[in-house]
Amino acid sequence: MGIHDLLREVAKTYDANAGSRRDVVGQQVLRGVAKRLDLGLPSGLFARGYGGQTTPAATPWIGVFDPEINSDAGKGLYLAYIFCADLLTVSLTLQQGITHLEDRLGRGQARQEHLRRQAARLRTAIASQRRNGWFDEPELRHHADRPRAYEAASVIARRYDTAALPDEMVLQDDLAHAAELLKRAHVADRLWQFEDSPTLQVNYEFDGHTPVNEGDALAGFSPKDSSDYIANIAARQQIKKRHHEALVKSFGQHVVSCGYIPTTRLMHPKDLVLHRADQGSSTSDEWLVEAKVVRGGNPTEAVRQAVGQLYEYSHFLYRERKRPEPHLVGLFTEDVGVYSGYLEERGIASIWRDGDGWRGSPRAVGWGMTG
């Protein structure tokens, strides 16, 4: 037994016209994947089969997950063996979750375009490890939105003919290779969330708020570690210092004493969101904070980036979604000088670290965020 026999069994037994009941043989095979111990998966990985719930899947698939990266097929990165609609081929793909995007982008073209942009960006992190025979997207041969989204969500893929599957050793080697690509893509994806770069492409996902425990103002505040770390991306070793995360953490802890609830959890790509503690997140008043590190004593680039991102997020994450627009705040590691007045004229408050405390523009002072 193993991957080879499982793929062959699914190809022989699955029938989308037979429904999704528990007594349907193909569905039984897929639902039994999670309990199988004979698949020889790389250490730490686990698998689940998916044949649809109330409606049978047009393109059945088997997800392979690294729990240190992701265990949710709806979002995040994972591996999948996805069968085309005619079951003649099955593709091992490095996939992005698709269902979490439905509320914000729908199930059609907008979601597919977003997934393809993300996939293209992730491919740059694994380009140096690409093997012959691997390609970008599988062809699933079905017109429905979900198979089309699976195609768009593929970062890299390897296709097999189900009538002539490679032997188990080849399949296991391909899976081990895909597992390494998954780790590399995950590192790159995490780093891009923290990268303070004017070339960073932002895709406007919004996951909403984590409910805040009213007894704990910091319940939704989970800033990233500010320690140094080393990351390998596209064969380049980069040493990153998370001054940005330290800035967010320090200000978030401070602003609690000013009567605000800071939230970072599930806010990507936003750095920090604030609500008044006496009103909570139910009010339309929301403060959107963009944190920037001033480098070399010159605030110009930091201010430019803050302005651009605050305006973009305000437009795409609020105005486009018919949500009340937020108050805008630029948070900096040091005094931005004349740019403070420049920002005020554009409706953006500025706050910067001043020794052990915080100073800011008139708007920030008026909101009681400094001191």
Domain with 65 in it: 3-192
3-state secondary structure of 297: coil
CATH code of the domain in which 84 resides: 3.30.920.90
What mean pLDDT comes out for the span 345-361? 95
CATH code of the domain in which 255 resides: 3.40.1350
Is residue 178 located within the same domain as residue 243?
Answer: no
Q: Which of 192, 213, 240 is the last residue of a domain?
A: 192
Amino acid at 161: D
Under the banding of pLDDT at 50, 70 and 90, the label for residue 92 is very high
3-state secondary structure of 96: strand
Long-range contacts of 120-124 (CB under 8 A, 24+ apart): 121/192, 121/201, 122/77, 122/94, 122/96, 122/155, 122/185, 122/188, 122/189, 123/155, 123/156, 124/188, 124/234
The CB-side HSE value for 257 (13 A sphere, CA atoms) comes to 8
Amino acid at 108: G
How many folded domains does the chain comprise? 2
Q: Is the pLDDT of residue 225 over 90?
A: no
In a domain, 200, yes or no: no
**Distance from C-alpha of 316 to C-alpha of 311, rounded to nearest angstrom:** 9
In a domain, 197, yes or no: no
pLDDT attached to residue 135? 93
Is residue 54 located within the same domain as residue 143?
Answer: yes
Is residue 50 located within the same domain as residue 184?
Answer: yes
**Distance from C-alpha of 200 to C-alpha of 95, rounded to nearest angstrom:** 21
In a domain, 260, yes or no: yes
Is residue 186 located within the same domain as residue 50?
Answer: yes
Q: Find the range with the poorest average confidence among 79-83, 105-109, 344-348.
A: 105-109
Is residue 285 located within the same domain as residue 144?
Answer: no
In a domain, 286, yes or no: yes
**Distance from C-alpha of 291 to C-alpha of 16, rounded to nearest angstrom:** 50
Is residue 34 located within the same domain as residue 175?
Answer: yes
Is residue 188 located within the same domain as residue 238?
Answer: no
Is residue 142 located within the same domain as residue 257?
Answer: no
Q: Is the pLDDT of residue 210 over 80?
A: no
Is residue 24 located within the same domain as residue 115?
Answer: yes
3-state helix, strand, coil in the chain (%, to 5): 40, 20, 40
What mean pLDDT value characterizes the chain? 85
Is residue 22 located within the same domain as residue 166?
Answer: yes
Is residue 107 located within the same domain as residue 40?
Answer: yes
Amino acid at 87: L
